[in-house]
């Protein structure tokens, strides 16, 4: 029996403007996460763990950091033509300019689809934190004889106004799509929940290619969620695949079964990092049966010298001397000097925290240098005069390459 050929097209070109200043020097999928990973590692690991290893990663804005990461961490090809992670910048084959939406990104790379000759094209985003066996979604797609399958997740109706909401029959067939509706339609079997689109799709190739060509001839945006999928409902079989039905091996009883987070804001990004912590984290990445893979880092174990560490993760090569660290995610190569106190912080690689510094609910970008005696996270108005402060009061110390007001860290001390 012929096996189903699946080609993954990973949308990794987003600006991530709501994550500024973390996305000032990199695209959203390249933002570090969890002390070891990049956000893009989650979707790629899901594909590879699912046995789908033909993957094109479509990049665009501020892509150099992402390209370097993919080159170093995701060389899976060998000599097989069906095993690859390929970086695809805008080729401008179909028109001049950058991608004008997710559908246009696929349209401009129809040659890649023609070369691989897939039965199914998996169009997935690269900017969410989650685990998913995509093979189960593919099997459901084949069983329902769908032309298109949309990955969805139940969300409380009261929280659904910020999502694209999918309306289905009890069979799972999609009969409606609402983009951020004021009054979301609930699920047919759960009146207090609605189905949120995850922005991940499976398309039969014979369905998708003609649609993209037709869409390209129209004026306006070219987006799957806003244009392509809603227009399919009248003439094609579109089914929803519920992530809460997806089974991941090695999942522990205390974890959130269908963990999925859009880390598109600083507060959501910080909270997702906090979700990794504790004795029973709701997202436990110590799962050998479903590993999240990232780049290799050659460095020694962290050094903890006369320090008090509680409910935290400390990356390789980091050194903490006479420091107190509570409920924080510390990256690799971080140096925290004597007398420093770190609380509910996310410090990316190579951050240097000076002596007797007090940091509370701070995100420090890679390579940031925080002088001794600095206090951040205690006086919102004072912090906001020198740094970006999120809606909940998170203070973000930017990458050292970003121009800052001279002496701003010293004045915040």
Task: Tell me how far apart the alpha carbons of residues 305 and 310 are, in angstroms, rounded to a whole number.
Answer: 14
Question: Per the annotation, does 164 bind a ligand?
Answer: yes
Question: Per the annotation, does 317 bind a ligand?
Answer: no
Task: Tell me how far apart the alpha carbons of residues 218 and 222 are, in angstroms, rounded to a whole number.
Answer: 9
Q: How far is CA 365 from CA 32, 130, 248, 264, 369, in A?
A: 9, 23, 32, 16, 9
Q: How far is CA 149 from CA 34, 112, 182, 189, 198, in A?
A: 31, 21, 25, 19, 11
Q: What's the CA angle centered on 373, arms 367 and 375, to 5 degrees?
A: 80
Decide: helix, strand or coil at residue 41: helix
Which pair of tokens denotes residue 390?
């999120």
Beta carbons within 8 Å of 27's beta carbon, 6+ residues apart: 12, 13, 14, 15, 16, 59, 60, 61, 62, 63, 65, 66
Q: How far is CA 213 from CA 154, 156, 216, 225, in A?
A: 32, 37, 5, 17
* Neighbouring-strand partners of residue 329: 313, 346
Question: Per the annotation, does 61 bind a ligand?
Answer: no
Question: Per the annotation, does 170 bind a ligand?
Answer: no
Question: Per the annotation, does 107 bind a ligand?
Answer: no
Are the beta carbons of 122 and 6 closer than 8 angstroms?
A: yes
Q: How far is CA 104 from CA 99, 146, 211, 404, in A?
A: 6, 23, 11, 37
C-alpha dihedral sign at 300, 301, 304, 309? positive
Binding-site residues for alpha-D-glucose 1-phosphate sit at 99, 164, 179-180, 197
Binding-site residues sit at 99, 164, 179-180, 197
């Amino acid at each position: 029996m012929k096996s189903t050929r699946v080609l993954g097209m990973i949308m990794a070109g987003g600006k991530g403007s709501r994550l500024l200043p973390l996305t000032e020097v990199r695209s959203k999928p390249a933002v570090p996460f969890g002390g070891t990973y990049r956000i893009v590692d989650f979707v790629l690991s899901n594909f590879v763990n699912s046995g789908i290893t033909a993957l094109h990663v479509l990049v665009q804005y501020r892509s150099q950091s992402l390209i370097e990461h993919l080159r170093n961490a995701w060389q899976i090809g060998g000599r097989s033509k069906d095993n690859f992670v390929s970086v695809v910048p805008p080729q401008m084959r179909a028109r001049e300019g950058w991608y004008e939406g997710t559908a246009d990104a696929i349209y401009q790379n129809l040659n890649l689809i023609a070369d691989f000759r897939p039965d199914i094209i998996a169009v997935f985003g690269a900017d969410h934190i989650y685990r998913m066996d995509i093979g189960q979604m593919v099997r459901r797609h084949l069983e329902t004889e769908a032309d298109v399958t949309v990955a969805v997740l139940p969300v409380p109706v009261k929280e659904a106004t910020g999502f694209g909401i999918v309306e289905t029959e009890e069979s799972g067939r999609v009969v409606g799509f609402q983009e951020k509706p004021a009054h979301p339609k609930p699920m047919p079997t759960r009146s207090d929940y609605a189905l949120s689109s995850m922005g991940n799709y499976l398309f039969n190739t014979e369905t998708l290619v003609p649609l993209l060509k037709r869409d390209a001839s129209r004026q306006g945006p070219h987006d799957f969620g806003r244009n392509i999928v809603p227009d399919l409902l009248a003439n094609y079989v579109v089914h929803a695949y519920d992530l809460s039905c997806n089974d991941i091996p090695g999942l522990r009883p205390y974890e959130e079964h269908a963990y999925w987070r859009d880390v598109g804001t600083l507060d959501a990004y910080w909270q997702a990092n906090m979700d990794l912590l504790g004795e029973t984290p709701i997202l436990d990445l110590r799962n050998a049966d479903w590993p999240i893979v990232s780049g290799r880092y050659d460095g020694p174990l962290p050094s903890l010298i006369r320090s008090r560490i509680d409910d935290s993760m400390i990356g390789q090569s980091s050194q903490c001397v006479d420091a107190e660290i509570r409920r924080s995610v510390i990256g690799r190569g971080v140096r925290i000097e004597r007398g420093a106190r770190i609380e509910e912080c996310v410090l990316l690689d190579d951050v240097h925290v000076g002596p007797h510094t007090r940091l509370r609910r701070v995100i420090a970008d890679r390579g940031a240098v925080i002088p001794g005696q600095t206090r951040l996270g205690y006086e919102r108005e004072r912090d906001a005069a020198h740094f970006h402060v999120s809606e909940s009061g998170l203070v973000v110390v930017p990458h050292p390459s970003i121009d800052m007001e001279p002496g701003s860290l010293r004045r915040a001390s």
